[in-house]
Structure 1
Amino acid sequence: MFKPQAQNPVLAAGFILAATAFIAATTLLAKALGTEALGPALHPMQVSHGRFVFAFLAITATVAAMRPRLSRPHWGLHMGRTAFGWGGVTLMFASVAHIPMTDATAITFLNPVIAMLLAIPLLGERVGPVRWLAAAIALSGALILLRPTPASFQPAAMLALAAACVMGMELIFIKKLSGREGPLQILLVNNGLGVVISSLAVLAVWQTPTQEQWAALAGVGLLMACAQACFVNGMARADASFVAPFSYATLIFATLYDFGAFGVVPDAISLTGAGIILAGALLLAWREARQGRRPMPPQALSR
């Protein structure tokens, strides 16, 4: 049994905001690696491989230093969660190489909505009218971001939409794992299995990175390990209904980073679609809190 942390909402909000800044930074590095900013573009599977390898090294060092009490993992749930997590991360990294980070990040915020829809057949949950309304609002925002006209359609946005769907399935496994094992053990097992899966997948597309790309790959993994640690600490110190809205600050950091590094300014369509998705996701989080459920932040223990 792990000892619960003392409740501290202010500190929890700080941890979650730090996590969102780290997550947006990993997306920025993934975009640099997937374009030619640091050398010949790397395949998204190689970027996700670096994410898992270096995150696993960081988390292993943390476990060795803290020596938490570990229990027997539920390997089936961990395998499902990690497989979908790896797929979602890879698709997300593929999308940001071709579309603005604002659009890709906003579209992946659909994953709690996708998880809600998947929970109907997989977890036997019942969905009321407010939750259906939240899903409809969020999905309409995604439709705007897809720009579904022959002149403006962004095929790469479908990669972000696929990432949201896959990450939604990952959230189903996270919900099943929550309460069974300690957060640090979940991160250790998840990243360890991620190393195995991504190492097998990257064999077909491997190319030797430049020195700058090795540094960026290490940055992706270390920043993600920091983000996961911040999420764990934030979720442990306040109710999920309180911390969930702060997790959407990822969109703000992604927009600022994309502008600072690549000079990308979101247009009116991007801002409108992102705003509508956020409205739907926040409505869902509010409804979950009112019903006594734990609303899962979109990146909680994910990526």
Structure 2
Amino acid sequence: MTLALVAFTGFPLGDVLVKTMAGDWPVPAVAAFRFSIAAIALALLLWLKEGRSGFRINRPWLHAARGLALTVGTITFFSAIYVMPLADAVAISFINPMLTALFSDWFLKEKMRPATWIATIVAFGGVLIMLRPNIAAFGWVAVLPLIAAVAMSSMIILNRMVSTQRSIFAAQFYIAFWASVFLTIAAVIGHWTIDVMYVPGLPDWSVVIKCGIIAITATCCHFLLYMATMRTTAAVIAPLVYIQLIIATIFSVTVFGDAIDRVALIGGALILLSGVFLWRSERRATTVLEA
């Protein structure tokens, strides 16, 4: 639980650094640079750990699909925290666990229990409540974290489809590699076609340092989560994810001076409660099965 808690606490720190780069470099370029650093570091780690055999894979299209899903999720979420309060963007993205359960039913034929349907409906209600003031303030760009949640849920489903194929080192490398490829393509296309994605030149040294820190911290957090799942069940770890919402809210208020909207708080609370309800129901179901 400590490993998972440290991991989930570390993810919002990267989000804070991303938000501080708003206006310094366009979103696709920042994301491409961040994942390129991670891909290079993970390639070296995979080579040292498994040698040439670590780079041999089956069903490469699945790994490419993982990278594409991560690309969409990264661009939309980074764009959201560029223009929205960090706490709001993170809260809306927390629809992810419910969407994952829904996608599991559709694509992996894992039947959803009534409790999952209840949690999903309540969480969507919370998202709609949070989106109302945000759409009024920012326009339809406020839907970006919801798109990010859909993309990240798709990535989780794809991760499960390849989970038995390779080691954690190979899995981390290939998703970072394909994400860096797709994000670089997006950055080049955006540079020539969209004004806000125009890359003015080489990044400032502060952007380079921040991207490096994000790549290192995010990769370490993913490894900590993997280590945590080796030591306990997902049911124990799942509720700890909501520490991200608390940390993001603290940073949103103290670092960026964002005001806490009461309506948004209600929506965030519904998302939080639905997640806790889903976790408790999953633990109860697991206990019954074990008995």
Give the secondary-structure state (helix, strand or coil) at the position aligned to 2:271.
helix
Give the match for residue 35 of structure 2.
Answer: 52
Q: Does 1:270 align with 2:264?
A: yes
TM-score under structure 2 normalisation?
A: 0.86
Give, in whole Å, the separation in 2 of the partners of 1:99 and 1:168. 21
Give the match for residue 282 of structure 2.
Answer: 288
CA deviations over 1:189-215 (Å, ceiling 9, x no partner): 111112211122211323321121222
Structure 2 residue identity aligned to 1:241: A
Give the secondary-structure state (helix, strand or coil) at the position aligned to 1:17.
helix
Give, in whole Å, the separation in 2 of the partners of 1:176 and 1:14. 28
Q: Does 1:191 align with 2:176?
A: yes
Aligned pairs (5 A) from 1:185-224: 185-204=170-189, 205=191, 206-208=199-201, 209-224=203-218
Aligned pairs (5 A) from 1:110-125: 110-125=95-110
Contact 1:18 1:227 in 2 (8 A): yes
Between 1:144-153 and 1:174-183, the stretch displaced more is 144-153
Unpaired stretches in structure 2, ≥5 consecutive residues: 192-198
Give, in whole Å, the separation in 2 of the partners of 1:88 and 1:161. 9
When residues 90 and 152 of structure 1 are mapped into structure 2, their CA distance, relative to the original with a 3 A threshold, is closer
Contact 2:104 2:110 in 1 (8 A): yes
Give the secondary-structure state (helix, strand or coil) at the position aligned to 2:239.
helix
Q: Does 1:239 align with 2:222?
A: no
Structure 1 residue identity aligned to 2:90: T
Contact 2:135 2:141 in 1 (8 A): no
Q: Does 1:15 align with 2:8?
A: no
For 2:243, which of 249, 253, 257 is the aligned residue?
A: 249
Q: Does 1:81 align with 2:75?
A: no
Give, in whole Å, the separation in 1 of the partners of 2:102 and 2:206. 41
Give, in whole Å, the separation in 2 of the partners of 1:222 and 1:150. 34
Structure 1 residue identity aligned to 2:269: G
Contact 1:112 1:171 in 2 (8 A): no
CA RMSD of aligned residues (A): 2.3
Between 1:93-102 and 1:181-190, the stretch displaced more is 181-190
Unpaired stretches in structure 1, ≥5 consecutive residues: 1-12, 294-303
State the aligned residue count: 276
1:290 positional shift: 3.7
Give, in whole Å, the separation in 1 of the partners of 2:133 and 2:104. 28
Q: Does 1:25 align with 2:8?
A: no
When residues 104 and 118 of structure 1 are mapped into structure 2, their CA distance, relative to the original with a 3 A threshold, is same
Give, in whole Å, the separation in 1 of the partners of 2:91 and 2:33. 24
Q: % of aligned pairs identical?
A: 25
1:244 positional shift: 1.0
TM-score under structure 1 normalisation?
A: 0.83
1:220 positional shift: 2.0
1:292 positional shift: 4.2
CA deviations over 1:103-149 (Å, ceiling 9, x no partner): 11111111121122223332223223211100011111101110269
Give the match for residue 259 of structure 1.
Answer: 253
Give the secondary-structure state (helix, strand or coil) at the position aligned to 1:181.
coil
Structure 2 residue identity aligned to 1:217: C
For 2:44, which of 61, 77, 83 is the aligned residue?
A: 61
1:154 positional shift: 4.9
Contact 1:58 1:225 in 2 (8 A): no
Give, in whole Å, the separation in 2 of the partners of 1:175 and 1:201. 26
Give, in whole Å, the separation in 2 of the partners of 1:157 and 1:234. 33
Give, in whole Å, the separation in 2 of the partners of 1:290 and 1:84. 32
When residues 202 and 272 of structure 1 are mapped into structure 2, their CA distance, relative to the original with a 3 A threshold, is same
Give the secondary-structure state (helix, strand or coil) at the position aligned to 1:19.
helix
Structure 2 residue identity aligned to 1:147: R
When residues 280 and 90 of structure 1 are mapped into structure 2, their CA distance, relative to the original with a 3 A threshold, is same
When residues 150 and 252 of structure 1 are mapped into structure 2, their CA distance, relative to the original with a 3 A threshold, is closer
